[in-house]
Structure 1
Amino acid sequence: MDTTLQSQAARGQDPAIRVRGLVKRYGETLALDYFDLDVRRGEIFGLLGPNGSGKTTAINCILALLTYDEGRIDVFGEPIGPTSYALKRRLGVVPQEVAVFDELTVEQNIDYFCSLYVADRRRRRKLVDDAVAFVGLGEYRRVRPGKLSGGLRRRLNIACGIAHRPELVFFDEPTVAVDPQSRNAILEGIRSLRDEGGTVVYTSHYMEEVEQVCDRILIMDHGRHLALGTADELKAMIDVGERISVESLDLPESAVEAVRGLPAVDEARYDGRELQVRCRRGERNIADVFAILEASGANIGHVTSRPPTLNDVFLEMTGTALRD
């Protein structure tokens, strides 16, 4: 069966992850507040939240690395606990911090982590070869990690986490501090895992990456589920409209004031070279702004209109930028 068809068929099955009413307390601190989550099979699922929102706690509970006070967690339709060894073999984790052994070569590192799940050496040899090829480290397989660039070490980190061919993989900030070439290779690899029928849970502070690779995105804060949907669905949930930029060297103050007075305009700033306008949703925003500027007689240069971004969604829903 074609791998894409396999992935599509998997999407109709039971969720890869189902979390209901999850509560986790640290003393008086409520880290997870009756948190719910559904991750479909065969999707890349983005989990976003500011620092301290409960993301890491939720993931560690799902992986059965943490106990919790109330709720239920099912993975592939089965409850997961500390001794769910067969279920855990179907999972993979790529942590934010590169976790490899500097005294072992690239190949030996991948083989070691794969051996934690696969005892048969012959089968493992094929899995290691596949993982090396998957992350593009063929020419470095006998090199130790200390000799690799940061981007190549990240790729090795991924190979160690996916060599045993897990059905569900957690990626925590996989592209932090990597070069553009390695970033593109990592993102393409994550898409390939999904297209081959795998399921990915992805956390990142890079909103453009989340929008690029994630099929659905959940925003959480204070241990609660705030919003869920595709990137376009999330953008449709907020009042923020486009941001309009207009180049002009002779814009009169009266025109700037008139733009500020438009019903859909939240803010307009002019620095003598460029007018920056932030709007709420509206069908005629750019036309209304342009009509005022044209009537003012000012010389107008480049005009751009940028639609709302995921960062706008995040800021409106949580009151903070993702990196705060």
Structure 2
Amino acid sequence: MTYAIEVSKLKKHFGSIEAVKGIDFQVKKGSLFAFLGSNGAGKSTTIEILCTLLEKTSGDVTINGYRLGTMKDNDRIRQSIGIVFQQSLLDKELTVKENIIHRGRFYQLTKAQLIENYRFVWQYLKLGEIENKKYSQLSGGQRRRADIARAIIHKPSILFLDEPTTGLDPHTRKFVWETVERLRKEIGMTIFLTTHYMEEATNADQIVVIKKGEIIAQGTPNELKERFASDQLVLSFKKEIDIEHISEQIGCEMVQFGDVYKVNIPSTLHAIPIIERIQPSLASFEVIKGSIDQVFIQINEEAGDINAT
């Protein structure tokens, strides 16, 4: 198994405060990895360490084969990663093209490489209509496209996205994710994502959830849904029913919400025998799949209060 990122026993202390408490995880090359946590969970601290912006207290981190912590390897790590921050780093008075070309020079690209790489980002981010506009003149969605172009002008093998679609309209969010997926599938770029939109984590290959500096769950979206969320069968009846009798018939507890009843089921297929048993009384039914939002809420509730000392 080849990993783009390997983290072992990573810790970060700020005085007596343990922001990160010995966490372990791996990110497969070419995968979409989702790193989730509420505010104060240690998510941002971990990302800043991985991006060489903050020194770790202890532990081992390897990124693209380089060991974090030495000046030489830290420089190599920075050359191989791209970062899209929540706040832009671009100059408002420069055009999009000027900003991106200027950023490209930080990576000591040759003139030929810079021209080639600019064509690369121009194509992926559809910059034709905005490249000659000042950054200050752009809409929120256009700014985000320019931010991503800046982050990948040197063609990094890993792209860190820190809540990249917060505040964007649905159309722009869709465009951002289509672009990210193309980068991953077409050139094998590894994507490390944090997000407040839980549905964006649904497409991840791996999810890690952190709370108060500790990892409280990790797995694929389906694995986490199976462990922490259930599907729901929503039932509507033709007339008033004897809820205790119906519950005995189906062998499950029913909970009333307004004029419908809900039954938690392990999977969609488990709805079939329930419906068959009570079909004469049914007016309608619907199966609602367990969501990643449910997963996130349940994981945090089950984790309880982890000591922050």
What is the aligned counterpart of 1:241 among 230, 233, 236? Answer: 230
Matches within 5 A, 1:195-206: 195=185, 196-206=187-197
8 Å contact 1:118–1:124 — kept in the other structure?
A: no
Q: Give the Å deviation of 1:121.
A: 2.8
State the partner residue of 1:318: 300
Secondary structure in 2 matching 1:186: helix
Give how far 1:26 is off. 2.1
Identity %: 26
- Paired residues of 2:4 and 2:29 also in contact (CA < 8 A): yes
Q: Match for residue 8 of structure 1? A: none
Query: Which residue of the partner structure matches residue 13 of structure 2?
Result: 25
State the shift of 1:251 in Å: 4.1
Q: Which whole-Å deviations, capped at 9, do the CAs of 1:198-247 have from their partners, x for residues lacking one?
A: 111011121222213x2221122221222222211221223x32122234
Shift of 1:171: 0.6
How far does residue 270 in structure 1 lie from its aligned partner after superposition?
3.2
> Over the residues paired in the alignment, what is the CA RMSD in angstroms?
2.5
Contact 2:232 2:265 in 1 (8 A): no
Residue type at the aligned position of 1:174: P
- CA change 1:286–1:172 in 2 (3 A) is same
The offset of 1:78, in angstroms, is 2.1
Match in the other structure for 2:255: 268
Q: Tell me the secondary structure at the aligned position of residue 127 of structure 1.
A: helix
Alignment match of 1:34 (pick from 15, 22, 27) = 22
Shift of 1:113: 1.6
Which 10-residue stretch deviates more, 94-103 or 250-259?
250-259
SS of the residue 1:16 aligns to:
strand
2:295 alignment partner AA = V
TM-score by length of 1: 0.83
Unaligned runs of 5+ in 2: 303-309
Alpha-carbon distance change, 251 to 137 in structure 1, aligned in 2, over 3 angstroms: farther
Contact 2:249/2:277 (<8 A) preserved: no
Does structure 1 residue 64 correspond to structure 2 residue 49? Answer: no
Distance change >3 Å, CA 197–CA 223, structure 1 → 2: same
Specify whether residues 264 and 172 from structure 1 end up closer, same or farther in structure 2 by C-alpha distance, changes over 3 A only.
farther
Alignment partner of 1:245: what SS?
strand
Contact 1:279–1:285, Cα closer than 8 Å, also in 2: no
In the other structure, the counterpart of 1:141 is 131
Question: 1:141 deviation in Å?
Answer: 0.8
CA gap 1:291/1:268 in 2 versus in 1, 3 angstroms: farther
Instruction: Write the letter of the residue equivalent to 1:201.
Output: F
Maintained 8 Å contact 1:65/1:82: no
Offset at residue 283 of structure 1 (A) = 7.4
TM-superposed deviation, 1:306: 1.4
User: Does the C-alpha gap of structure 1 residues 287 and 198 become closer, same or farther in structure 2, counting only changes over 3 Å?
Assistant: closer
Query: Structure 2 CA distance, aligned partners of 1:111 and 1:149?
Result: 20
Residue deviations 1:81-110, cap 9 Å, x none? 362212311111011223321100010111
Alignment of 1:114-129 (within 5 A): 114-129=104-119
Q: Residue by residue, what CA displacement relative to the aligned partner does 1:118-175 show, whole Å, maximum 9, x if unpaired?
A: 3423321221222122111212110112222211111111111111101111011111
Report the Cα distance in structure 1 between the residues aligned to 2:227 and 2:4, rounded to whole angstroms.
Answer: 26
1:258 and 1:202 map into 2 onto residues whose CA distance is: 45
Judge conservation of contact 1:228–1:234 (CA < 8 Å) in 2: yes
**Aligned ranges for residues 38-187 of structure 1 at < 5 Å?**
38-81=26-69, 83=71, 84-187=74-177
Q: Is the 8 A contact 1:256 1:268 kept in 2?
A: no
**What are the equivalent positions in structure 2 for 1:171-320 lying under 5 Å apart?**
171-195=161-185, 196-212=187-203, 214-238=204-228, 240-247=229-236, 251-252=239-240, 254-255=242-243, 258-259=246-247, 264-265=252-253, 268-272=255-259, 275-281=260-266, 285-287=270-272, 290=275, 294=279, 297=281, 300-301=283-284, 303-319=285-301
Using a 3 Å threshold, how does the CA distance of structure 1 residues 117 and 281 change in structure 2: closer, same or farther? same
CA distance in 2, matches of 1:218, 1:282: 23
Return the alpha-carbon distance in structure 1 between the equivalents of residues 156 and 126 of structure 2: 19
CA apart distance, 1:29: 2.4
Match of 1:3 in 2: none
Cα distance in structure 1, aligned partners of 2:268 and 2:138: 51
Q: What displacement does 1:71 show?
A: 0.8
TM-score (norm 2): 0.87
Q: Distance in 1 between matches of 2:248 and 2:99?
A: 60
1:291 and 1:95, CA in 2 relative to 1: closer, same or farther beyond 3 A?
same
Work out the number of aligned pairs and report it.
299
Distance across 1 between alignment mates of 2:153 and 2:252: 52
What are the Cα deviations for residues 176-216 of structure 1, in whole angstroms up to 9, with x where unaligned?
Answer: 1222322222111111221212111011121222213x222
